Amino acid sequence: MRSVVQDYVDSILADCGADRSGAVADYIPELAAADPDRFGICVASADGYLYEAGDSRVPFTIQSISKPFTYGLALADRGTAAVDAKVGVEPSGDAFNEISLDPVSGRPRNPMINAGAITAASLVAGATAEESFDRVRAAYSAWAGRDLELDEQIYRSELRTGHRNRAIGHMLRTVAILEDDPEPVVDRYFRQCSLLVDARDLALMAATLANNGTHPRTGVQVLAPHLVERVLSVMTTCGMYDGAGDWVSGVGMPAKSGVGGGVLAVLPGQIGVAVFSPRLDDHGNSVRGVEACRKLSRELELHFLHVSRSARSAVRASWDLLDRPSRRRRTEDEEEVLREHGRRARIYALHGDLHFAGAETVVREIARRSDDLELLVLDLRRVDDVAGVARRMLAEARRRLRESGCEVAIVDPDGVLPEEEHGEDSWPPRHGGLDGAVEWCEDELLARHGTPSCRIERMTLEAHPLTAALSADGLELLRPHLRAHTAEEGEVLVRRGDEPAGIHLLLSGRVTVSVDGPDGRPRRVATLAAGMSFGELALVAGRTHAADVVAEHRTDLLILDPEGFAALGVEAPGVRLALVEGLITHFFESDARAAQALAQRRPAGAGEEPVVAPA
């Protein structure tokens, strides 16, 4: 199944690609040579999965997107108090390259404008200027998950033409924000802006911020979580310069742009977004980058004030049908079919609030297994809320699965996926409990792959497994001791604690065997159908019944009550012995099949339910 999320990303690339407004940066001569029509998008989940479209692997210089990462490095090297003494955290309202300081504090207003960024660069530890830059490059490489290289041509171009930044550096020196010669610091700033990245790198850098400073692929803790909070806070209010207010209200993700055409955005705990398109607006932000982020935020409901209790992964557990069958007791022929085809049905137990990031993990995991599946169940009992984007993603995933021959059911007792929102055929069948959904999977597999012997709805006495070994004469001796009974839906046939009620042979219909759970509510332990029986153990052992047995719907039975069983021992002891031997054989074969089934089940892995034996 093709990824639903990938299609979203592709559609946004197509929708925004026609916009040719804006112009490439030209105050750095080498930037003016950039291809204005390049356009790439990359979205990285907090666990490192990538969705890419367009020119996502085309290199460009990081430019001002470097600022939050150098700021984070300065915080780690010097401590928050020392950095705060040199640079503030308030929005400036000015252009990014304004030559100004806060009139009250005398500091650069924030580390996202050039004055604050040069100050942050001066605070990176290192005995020499070269050592400090090597630390910057190593830190950026750790954020990206690969070694980043310097674009020498861009660097030389910045070095030749960066007079305004030199002026900012000398201004900072005159007020003692910079305590030494500003030239090496400004040079280091030019170098950091000239490091080459692509949209994939930036998306992983953003995902590392989203992941509390730990790179989702390498596992390296690049920045401490409390410092990540500080960096993201400043990015939220200052990252898009004098367009920050419009960005926060319209997009709602901490972000940073660069005049090389890149835009980086972060949804904490969920995803990182990167866009590359060199045409810039009047604020110095990528035109198509801003619009792409705006569309992503709107269509995927990514605004950071859209509060969610999403888990890292919405898939709490998943397992194949073979690993955890229903409580319905099956015949030998049915069990054989389910052993052969049980891996083609899978259950996904979800949890948390399903917003975009949670739904993304679900559809990604489903897509990974979809080619092998015929049936799929989504268990929503631990889901409290499903956002509109998640509903659309799940509905689209189901549509694609059905086209490939895989049917989907949901366990949704609380109605978190309202039927009226999805059309008349979007989410049948629905189940109130997981065991019913698992039983539905089994019935569907049996209908698709079973032999005629798996589709028996009515059983005769002669064909019943407990009596099949009796001769015609033996059956005639048994018949007078059997009492026919038709149970209506909901009728209680046996109660827990009752004295033995006899052997009940099911000829049609189904009954539920249940016990009281820890909460006092009935808990189903088995469902029996035509060709099965109950009550034997209580009768032969002379003990009270251990469970309740209730007819699920109209059910036909033949009952050998205790009096008839005793009389059979006097009148036809051979028939009674054959029945007892049949019971022993039946239980032995059932245990052997259960052991075989357990041997075929996979051990529970990460994110999977533990393997349990059928009740």
Q: Which residues are identified as catalytic?
A: 64, 67, 189, 241, 259
- Residue 60: C-alpha distances to residues 38, 318, 330 (Å): 10, 41, 63
Question: E-strand spans in 260-337?
Answer: 262-267, 271-276, 315-320
Q: Which amino acid is at 387?
A: A
Quote the CA–CA distance of 363 and 378 in Å, as a whole number. Answer: 11
**Bond before 429 cis per omega within 30 degrees:** yes
Of 166, 169, 164, 175, nearest to 85 (Cα)? Answer: 175
Quote the CA–CA distance of 573 and 586 in Å, as a whole number. Answer: 20
Q: Which amino acid is at 75?
A: L
Structure tokens given for 421: 């929102």
**Whole-angstrom distance between the N-terminal and C-terminal Cα of the chain?**
35
Helices 67-78 and 225-238 pack at an angle, to 10 degrees, of 140
Of 401, 322, 254, nearest to 593 (Cα)? Answer: 322
252: left (phi over 0), alpha (psi -120 to 50) or beta: left
Q: Which residue in this structure is represented by tokens 């029986």?
A: 533
For the beta sheet containing 430-431, the strands, ordered from the edge strand earlier in sequence to the opposite edge, are 315-320, 345-354, 375-386, 407-411, 430-431
Question: If you count them, how many residues does the chain have?
Answer: 615
Structure tokens given for 243: 């367009």
Structure tokens given for 517: 């759970």
In contact, 357 and 271? CB cutoff 8 Å: yes
* 332: number of Cβ within 10 Å: 13
- Residue 199: C-alpha distances to residues 69, 150, 273, 343 (Å): 16, 16, 9, 39
238: left (phi over 0), alpha (psi -120 to 50) or beta: alpha
Q: Which residue in this structure is represented by tokens 């909460």?
A: 519
Of 12, 15, 40, 37, nearest to 24 (Cα)? Answer: 37
Quote the CA–CA distance of 609 and 546 in Å, as a whole number. Answer: 28
